[in-house]
Structure 1
Amino acid sequence: MDMTAAGKDSPNNKRFKSGHRKKDGYKLLLAALPFLVIAFAFSYVPLFGWIYAFFDYHPGIPLSKSEFVGLANFRDMFGDSRMGPVLVNTLALSALSILTAPIPMLFAILVSEVRSGWFKRLVQTVSTLPHYISWIIVYALAFSMFSTEGAVNTMLIKTGIGGSPVDVLGNYDRVWTVQTLLLLWKSVGWSAIIYLAAIVSIDSEQYDAAKVDGAGRRRTIWHITLPSIMPTFIVLLLLSISNLLSAGFEQYLVFSNVMVADRIEVLDLYVYRLGLVTGDYSYSTAVGMFKSVISIGLLFAVNLLSKKFRGQGIV
């Protein structure tokens, strides 16, 4: 009998391994505990504030002395004349963001095909850097470049290419396109990181076999790289669809002006103005609840579709 094998299968050894795994599990739990506390404090504790949606609350008056109005705030929401345009703006900007979702994936494929190591690192650094720039700084840069007295208009007029200055940031008809391009510029490098990680995890033997079969770069990308990262793209796309009503807040707050305010007032910005600008806390809470419930419903809906067509869900 092999004594080494017997020692490995002994009850004492099994108990030692089980205790070691439990100890490692406790360490991992303690390491994750601060993040769980933060998530609970900032994502779940505020849900208790939803109770304000059912009262006619005014600052300075205790909630216990406020009038209970039930679903009146929700009924007012469906009769609000501003709700329709706000939803249109939110859905349009979210739809444009979803339509541009393949661009980070294509960008990641192009970066992965670069053979020069230093140039690849340079491209990744330059493309990821805008993610760390706040929207206030982005607005300042955009204003200095694209305002009527900005660098672009000044250069076009001095070179004789352009006539009168073009107000890019105040163009009512093109504001959705401008904001989508700014969002894409800011996020494409950061979003590509996920796809680059998926590309790195592809088995290199598949590429070696493709080279042996005489496949070029285009066929290798089409038959190996793209199918391998497509599940990642589908998961991220479904998550984007579930966040359809979360078009953003900071971007549209800083880029809002008199000429385009009606076109970029999204749901989050509308809730902010209702609550903190006009002081209508009860009604703004009701609108926020509406957005959260719809987002949860969309998440479960896309999860069911994923299970039906892909055989696995995203949650």
Structure 2
Amino acid sequence: MNAPLHAPKLYDCRDAFAATLERLAAENDRIVAVCNDSVGSSKLGGFKAKFPDRLVNVGIAEQNMVGVGAGLANGGRLPFVCGAAMFLTGRSLEQIKADISYSNANVKLVGISSGMAYGELGPTHHSIEDFAWTRVLPNLPVIAPCDRIETAAAIEWAATYDGPCFLRLSRVGVPDLLPEGHKFVLGRANLLREGSDLTLIANGTLTHRILKAAEILASRGIQARVLNLATVRPIDEEAIIKAANETGAIVTAEEHSTFGGLGSAVAEVVVDNAPVPMKRLGVPGIYAPTGSAEFLLDEFGMAPAAIAHAATALLTRK
């Protein structure tokens, strides 16, 4: 199907997360929230007001926060552990590995303000390594929804999934791309636009940008297939192999380093199964500087026009 390319409004996916979590918590008293002095940035104010005894605020102690989440899961609760993605993953990676992944604890890790959403706070607050850190861990699905609809669907899925997962949510506004009522399926890509000349793949905040890039390419007579690959692990190998075989070239774009992220995950599938020319767009292995997320994405060649240019250049290699 062809998704709408222009939405009248941009939505903060944290709002969809919070509203869905509150609704699910009203139906399931096992659900608890754990945060690191981030009630506001995690949008947990409403949850705190409705369920004051089910919110655990450990303060700025991310390693402890993950351990508390694991303990709550072991005690029969269903914890959503929420914090800034950079500190949730970077500071407590050992606890995520040992207490969550290795133990297969039923903990839902929610990385808030991922990518370069904290742009003005600089490199210490950019979360552009989290795909690489988390996707290597067994038992840990890694998910980056593209809009508020997919965010709500992914939270609903997580609440029913028996095991840990990492949900990567931005605070940067994005338009609606998926239809209301969309059901999240782990490991399945969403085909947002048909095309036979090459394939554009992204997730999170980049999905709407590659859709706009596809529109630019269409005006030039180039038909780009567009895949929203929300699940980085387990990845949809079938959709990637099909895209490689049928379109002959792939461009990936991500709010992450070009090392170890979505592009790397796609390239692993391509090189093992259907080698075709590829271009991976992202932060090119450096510390991204200070600036708004939108500015930085544009600076690193991920404005829609720049993505279209990269795709056009790649076609010369087919």
Same fold (TM over 0.5): no
Larger Rg: 1
Which is richer in strand?
A: 2
Which is richer in helix?
A: 1
Larger RCO of the pair (alpha carbons < 8 Å, separation 6+): 1
